[in-house]
Every structure is written in C-alpha cells, then in structure tokens.
A and B are shown apart, each in its own frame.
Chain A
Amino acid sequence: MQKISILAVGTNEKIMATILRLINQNPQWQGDIALSSETARALLLSANYNLILLGSGSDESKIRLILKDLGQNIPVVLHYGGGSGLLLCEINEALKPSSI
C-alpha cells in the first residue's frame, strides 16, 4: 500500500524534527519538513504530497498562494500541540473522504 505523504511546514526547528520523527514512526506515513515557505515550494515541486501540516511559525496564506500557483489541490491543516497527542487525529480527519 502506498504511504501517505505529508509535508510539515513550520519554523521551530526542534519541534519540526520531532514532528518528522513522529510521522515517520508510522509505517503508513512518510514525511518531509520545510522550515520556510521557500523550502516548502521547492519540496512541492519535487514530490507529490497528500497533506500539508502547518506548525508554529508557518505562513498559511503564503502556503496557499504557493499551492494555487503550482495548481496543487492538497488539504492544508493546522497542526496543534507540537507532539504526538493530536497528530493521528489531525491526519485522519484531514484525509477522511468527507474532508477531501
């Protein structure tokens, strides 16, 4: 089964490293992180993502503009909590059929 590919965007380097580790801990998920909108743009050009998670410091309007510019329609959800507490639910909720 193909893994769910997740791009997490945020500026807190330490927290983003934790999020990346937590995403990749799940055998059904594969993650990348971008510490800036510019890096996010480059990653969006080079890979196909199922979901974008916005962590602290991310600029949602910039990310949505990039997606519009690239013609990509990917669910964008705000990530809360920094760690593992809400991650599973955020990803499941964003990707459930009624949300897409």
Chain B
Amino acid sequence: MKKSVLHQAATRGSADHGWLKSFHTFSFAGYYNPERVHFGALRVLNDDTVDGGRGFGNHPHDNMEIVSIPLEGELQHKDSMGNVAVIKAGEIQVMSAGTGIYHAEYNKNPNEPVKFLQIWIFPNKRDVTPRYDQIKLDIDNKRNVLNQVLSPDKDDEGVWIHQDAWFHMGRFDEGKQATYNLKKEGNGIYFFVLKGALKVDGQDLETRDGYGIWDISEVSIEATSDAELLIMEVPMEVRL
C-alpha cells in the first residue's frame, strides 16, 4: 500500500550565518529533528543562498554522493583532486566523496547571491575512489517533460552516482501533466518543488515543498501554475 510523507517548505529547519542562509529538509549541522533524518538514501536536501563573494572554505567529505544544482548565480569549486570549475544555473555537479576529498565552494560573483541545492545521497558502496563531474542540462528546450539528470549508469543520460538513484527535472506550463514511472522496485520517490505549484498524486504542493512517496509504481503530476520540479528516486532501504 502506498505510503507518503509531506514536508512543507515552512516546516524545514533553517540556519542563518549571515553570509549563508540555508533551509534543511532533513537534519543537518545544528538542526536535528528525529522525525526528519532521511528519505531512504536521500540524506541531505539543503536549499542554500550564499552572499556575493562568500562561500564554504576547504572542508572534507567522505562516503557520500554529493550533488549540487545551482538555481541562480555561479558557484566556484576547487577540490583536492585538482578540479577547478564554475557551475551555474542550468548545470549539475556530482562528487563521489568515497575515501575522502577536500573542497571549497565560493560564490563567484562579488555582488549577487548564488542559490543552489546541495543534495547528499548515501552511496551503495563505501570507500570508492573519489570522482568529480559536471554537465550542462538542456531543460529550457524541453518543457513539459521529465528530463533525466542523474542515474546509476555512466552511459545513461545525466551524471551518475554510486547508488540506484535517478533524478529528473522538469519545467511545466500551467495545466500540463506528466507521469513518473518508478525505475526500480523498492525505491521511493521524493518530489521537491523548485518553483510554482503542482499536484503530485493528488497532493497540492507549493514552492520548496517536499513530498515523498513509496510502495507505488507510477505517480501523476499536474502543474497547477507554471512550475519547476525536481524528482529524486532513491532506495528506501539503507544502512545507517
């Protein structure tokens, strides 16, 4: 039988560090809510805004698949694997932290904020060799459909990670409909509204609301205004 969980935008945890304003869908840093620790393998969904010229200094990660999706502005990235890159809205970045990496992220623009989603997925294998990738997405030209932006397969569309997870993004005009079909049995699907309003499996969702569904094979989506949506399909069984 279908199960679901609703995380309305206003109920998220938050942190204001001056230069960084962050909303946490799940427990993160100083925000701890035992009812909101993870949705299956989806462990972190942070909605970050970083002031112009500011950023995260060099810090470590290990054993996590880290996905960054800029929504506005440009984010400069430097890591211990020697990667130096800038990612901007319309692109997606992925890092497999594996045995351990250090990296720093800064807002490249001194005057404008950068807004981005920071998403962490538990890996299906520990201590893999760290890796980095980023690609440009083509969502603007493909409206009213779900565009795959991440999968477990390096030969498939989008970036890939060490987990049986699939991400899709879509921009919909008001009234348009779509259906999401589950990729793998046992997975759950987490819907995160980037902009506008949608009805997902009959549930009304507004900007930055999150809605997780599992024990279901397909989900209906209807844009009740012009809207943007991120869909994250992840395994529900994980070792914590």
- On chain A, the residues within 8 Å of B127 by CB distance are 56-57
- Chain B positions 225 through 240: 1 when the CB is less than 8 Å from some CB of chain A, otherwise 0: 0000000000000011
Give complex CA distance A80, B102 in Å: 14
Out of A78, A83, A88, A96, which one reaches B61, CB within 8 Å? A83
A86 at the interface (CB under 8 A from B): yes
**B126 to A56, Cβ gap below 8 A?**
yes
A67 at the interface (CB under 8 A from B): no
- On chain A, the residues within 8 Å of B107 by CB distance are none
**B34 to A82, Cβ gap below 8 A?**
no
B98 at the interface (CB under 8 A from A): yes
Chain B interface, number of residues (Cβ within 8 angstroms): 27
B81 at the interface (CB under 8 A from A): no
A15 at the interface (CB under 8 A from B): yes
B120 at the interface (CB under 8 A from A): yes
- On chain A, the residues within 8 Å of B37 by CB distance are 89, 93
**B100 to A12, Cβ gap below 8 A?**
yes
Give complex CA distance A85, B44 in Å: 9
Given A12-B100, A56-B126, A96-B34, is A78 in contact with B63 using a C-beta cutoff of 8 Å? yes
- On chain B, the residues within 8 Å of A85 by CB distance are 28-29, 44, 120
A27 at the interface (CB under 8 A from B): no
- Rounded to whole Å, the gap between the CB of B220 and the closest CB of chain A is 33
Give complex CA distance A78, B125 in Å: 12
Given A81-B120, A83-B61, is A12 in contact with B126 using a C-beta cutoff of 8 Å? no
> Within A62-87, which residues are at the interface with B (CB < 8 Å)?
77-86
A18 at the interface (CB under 8 A from B): yes
Given A15-B62, A18-B60, is A89 in contact with B120 using a C-beta cutoff of 8 Å? no
A92 at the interface (CB under 8 A from B): yes
Give complex CA distance A10, B62 in Å: 11
Give complex CA distance A41, B110 in Å: 50
The 6 closest A-B pairs by CB, nearest first: A82-B60, A56-B62, A12-B100, A89-B27, A82-B62, A82-B61
Which B residues have a C-beta under 8 Å from some C-beta of A? 27-30, 32, 34, 37, 43-44, 59-64, 97-102, 120, 122, 126-127, 239-240
